[in-house]
Amino acid sequence: MLTDLEVTPKESRASRSQPITDEDAKALLASVSRVIVAKGKKTVELKAAEASPGDLRGPTGNFRAPMVRNGKTLLVGFNEEALRALLGEK
């Protein structure tokens, strides 16, 4: 999908070979002001200061994927509409 939107990530990491740790998640939350968590077709918006690494986890206990940061907003989990909005396409 990122290719369709002509977006090239600055950083990419495979969740299985380089899993995100709680410390990584805390650092990521500290670098943004808004977090959008995609849970299926629903999204939940949180202030980053009020979010915890647990908010970024799915039902299996693993961190949701993908995690996409654009500016001061972090999108966690896949939701096509939210991803398009985050990346500036309506």
**Residue 90 has what pLDDT?**
42
Could you tell me if residue 60 is inside a domain?
Answer: yes
Overall domain count for the chain: 1
**Percentage with pLDDT > 70 across the chain:** 90
Could you tell me if residue 52 is inside a domain?
Answer: yes
Distances from the Cα of 73 to the Cα of 14, 45, 51, 70, angstroms? 21, 10, 13, 5
For 78-89, the pLDDT digits (tens) are: 998 999 899 885
Could you tell me if residue 69 is inside a domain?
Answer: yes
What residues are paired with 35 via a beta bridge? 46, 74
Could you tell me if residue 33 is inside a domain?
Answer: yes
What range does the domain containing 49 cover? 22-86
pLDDT greater than 70 at residue 25: yes
